Homo-oligomer: A and B are copies of this chain.
Amino acid sequence: MKAVRLYEYNRPFGEALKLVNVPDPKITSPTDVIVKIAGAGVCRTDIHIVQAVWRDALGNPNLPYTIGHENAGFVEEVGSSVTGLAKGDPVICHPLMTCGLCRACRTGYDMACEHGVFPGLDGTDGGYAEYLKTSERTIIKLAPGTDPVPLAPFADAGITAYHAVKKALPYIYAGTQVVVVGIGGLGHFAVQLLKVMSPATVIALDTNRERLTFAEQLGADRVALAADDGGIKEVLNATGGSGADVVLDFVAENDTPSYALQYMRQSRGATYIVVGYGGVVAPTTLDMISKEINVIGSIVGSYAELTELMELNRQGRVHISSTTFPLSDYEHALDELDAGRVLGRGVLVP
């Protein structure tokens, strides 16, 4: 089959990643499932992988391997102990292959599985390919007749936004002002989810006016442009001068954490939820205590959270904006993302 594999770090996408022929994956364990990929989401993390940002955190995986961790498609073949799945069933895959036995798996935090395997990231082959080998525990069956292609981005961008919004909920009541930083693949879900799941007043912050218009279409109550000051002035203005009660930062690189600490409510406990990465967040401990600030890291959501999110999508309460590219155009898709020209999410179609 065809697959886009990482051969070298820190090269242009078309050189770091190559479209090659590899053997089709085979069932080797009774709980294996092989999925015929219908769509594979193109994520900023794919760019970071090429840039070696994750290399050390992932234990320096052997190259080459197939990237792509946001996958949806159709069941192709299942292992001997898998029940309830048949060839042709439309499915979406939770990105992490988990053990089911460790404390994290048993208590609802399977994304922190002690024995988790992350196809497309840690050297295990991912979904920029025609077929993906995954395990029974990752599979969510979709309603018969569902087209999986546009749903792929729910598998990572979607549940990462969902998980972050869930972390924000305890801090939200009527009148709470929540800033969503970065209206890209994740942020465009967060805006919608905050409106569906809470009474928050949602303020979208981005450097790009087109994205702010997009955010308003998705339900944002107000918008703020991140100009030279990172949006401090516009956020303070949009919050009536009080500052944000909660910030969901899907960028979190360069100066965004520093700006966030400045446009957060100064007078009492505000909450800063970090989802993006690449920067440093450096409050003084005097500020941390005198303002009772919370700084909370948030990673991908759990399998159960992905089922909840798919239910919201099924109900028509959360929509996805996506653009498809043929798998062979992976370089173009990544370039478009890198240049900030994709509204919503790009999806590769084999």
Contacts and interface: CB of A to CB of B under 8 A. Distances in A.
B281 A289 contact: no
A282 B282 contact: yes
Contacts of A227: none
A64 interface: no
Interface in A293-342: 293-299, 302-304, 307-309, 311-312, 315, 317
B114 A267 contact: yes
B281 A277 contact: no
A62 interface: no
Contacts of A199: 196-197, 308, 312, 317
Contacts of A302: 106-107
A297 B289 contact: yes
Contacts of A278: 285-286
Interface stretch (A209-217, A229-237, A268-276): A268-276
A171 interface: no
Contacts of A286: 53, 57, 277-278
Number of copies: 4
A198 B201 contact: no
B136 A101 contact: yes
A104 B308 contact: no
B277 A107 contact: no
Nearest to A295: B295
Contacts of A309: 174
A292 B299 contact: yes
5 tightest A-B CB contacts, nearest first: A288-B297, A282-B282, A174-B308, A252-B285, A295-B295
Given A108-B108, A112-B292, 19 more contacts: A100-B100, A104-B268, A106-B108, A106-B110, A107-B107, A107-B302, A175-B308, A199-B308, A199-B312, A269-B297, A278-B286, A279-B284, A280-B282, A281-B283, A288-B295, A288-B297, A289-B297, A292-B298, A295-B295
Interface of A: 30, 53, 57, 81, 100-101, 103-110, 112, 114, 136-137, 173-175, 196-199, 201, 249, 252-253, 257, 267-269, 274-299, 302-304, 307-309, 311-312, 315, 317
